[in-house]
Chains A and B, each alone.
Chain A
Amino acid sequence: MSDNIKSTEEIQTAMSQGLAQCHVCNLLVEIEESKDNYCPRCDSKIHLRIYDSLQRCWALTICSLIAFIPANAYPIMTILYFGKGQPDTILSGIFLLIKLGIYPIAAIIFFASFVVPLAKIVGLFVLLFSLRNRSKYTKLQRTKMYRYIEFFGKWSMLDVFVVALLVALVEIGAVVEIVAGPGATAFGIMVIITILAANSFDPRLLWDKKYDINLSNQIKEEK
């Protein structure tokens, strides 16, 4: 594998050569700084770096932190036995499962619905702060962190899917009924926002030298 890759001793970035890679079809295109650039092959817009990456990512990360509160505070579903029952939030549902002794499922839901979204939000904040100040993590560690954030993103939808199935399955019958709560909506919104926040972060900013970031800002201002 490594025989086929020739990299020069000094690593050159695409930006230093005035090139940018199309995010959609991977074509390397020369960027003209004064105007919008489009990929000649797939016609999508090409950016040297994701446009306004930091602003967007800050805004969306803060939004997802705010959305995290209703997602966990509102009940996600209510199980009614003979017309009686208590609404369950995600956390109280987990405690119920622990009390019933179903530990593996309690652990899965705890990780998918609570730890993953929280870790994503915290991780994005760490990445964003590390761009402003000197960070104790290396660039490689932070890139890996970003990769995990992107990869685990969709698993927090798990609980919403569980609610969808349970509501359909336990729909009929007066004995037991499962009703979905407003927490499910809040939860869905939160998952979407965290995925968008992770997508708007540009990991190449981690590797850019300070002056490179200024350069891309200059290009933005000229537009």
Chain B
Amino acid sequence: MKQKQFACYECDTLITITSINEGEVASCPRCHHHILDKKYDSINRTLAISGTGLLLFIPATFFPLMSMQLLSVESSASLMSGISALWQTELYLVATLVFAFCALAPLIKLTTAFLVCFGFKHNRHQHPIYKQLLLFYHHVDSWEMLEVFLIGILVSIIKLKDMADLSFNLGLLCFSALMLCVLSLKITLDKQMIWDDLNYER
């Protein structure tokens, strides 16, 4: 571990962390904000999870999540058909937001995490492109809303339950798995370790 001194991001307290073991969390003595942790087997786990997420991405966004049958008319909805339906009803902003939060942001997170960990595993991560990728990851991090969308699916299911016959499709399974993959990036990806390993000169 190269960096010893940290400042709490929420209350600016300076603390010295001499050593931290895998699975441990260091928190601020003054405001209890989570400052640093070290993750188990971060690179391999992140590679596996982001790879799985990338494989799931296409079925999760394009396969129908659920379908509805009403008086012999059947219709189904996927994430992308929802976005295009919003676009056709001229709600361009809402369509863009849903696309950015539920498709673009998770895709960027998975891709950058995968590429960075792949580069790290093969010791090629000193290339400046990895710095850009990590920055990219940082910027979309707080805008990803897959779990909110999943609750949205549940709410729509219950809202429509009495109106028509609903059935669930493969897309819903893929989508839930994709959400779990994106959420577990938070648990497995050790950004601090990767940053510490990047060379820098002033």
A binds B: yes
A76: nearest chain-B partner, CB-CB = B94
- Nearest 5 pairs of A and B residues by beta carbon: A161-B152, A14-B7, A168-B77, A168-B82, A169-B77
Please report the total number of B residues contacting A with Cβ < 8 Å. Answer: 79
Given the known interface contacts A28-B3, A173-B71, the answer about A109 and B12 at a Cβ–Cβ threshold of 8 Å is no
C-alpha spacing A207/B149, complex, angstroms:
36
Contact among A15, A143, A185 with B33 in the assembled complex (CB-CB below 8 Å): A143
In this complex, the member of B7, B24, B67, B200 whose beta carbon has the largest number of chain A beta carbons within 10 angstroms is B7
C-alpha spacing A180/B31, complex, angstroms:
44
Q: Is the interface of B mostly helix, strand, loop or mixed?
A: mixed
In this complex, the member of A157, A175, A199 whose beta carbon has the largest number of chain B beta carbons within 10 angstroms is A157
Residues of B within 8 A of A40 (CB): 200-202
Contact with B along A147-168 (1 / 0, CB 8 A): 1000000110111111111111
Q: CB distance A180 to B155 under 8 Å?
A: no
Q: A98 CB to closest chain B CB, in angstroms? A: 13
Interface size on A, as a range, is: 35 or more
C-alpha spacing A147/B67, complex, angstroms:
38
Q: B157 CB to closest chain A CB, in angstroms? A: 9
Residues of B within 8 A of A27 (CB): 3, 195
Q: CB distance A1 to B26 under 8 Å?
A: yes
For the complex, is B129 an interface residue (Cβ under 8 Å from A)?
Answer: no
B30: nearest chain-A partner, CB-CB = A11
For the complex, is B18 an interface residue (Cβ under 8 Å from A)?
Answer: yes
Given the known interface contacts A43-B131, A162-B159, A207-B31, the answer about A180 and B151 at a Cβ–Cβ threshold of 8 Å is no
Q: B198 CB to closest chain A CB, in angstroms? A: 6
C-alpha spacing A165/B66, complex, angstroms:
10
Contact with A along B22-58 (1 / 0, CB 8 A): 0011110111110010000000000000000000000
Given contacts A159-B152, A185-B93, A188-B97, 17 further A-B contacts (CB under 8 A): A27-B3, A40-B200, A42-B135, A44-B135, A100-B162, A105-B158, A105-B159, A157-B97, A158-B152, A160-B94, A164-B94, A166-B160, A167-B82, A179-B89, A184-B91, A192-B97, A207-B11
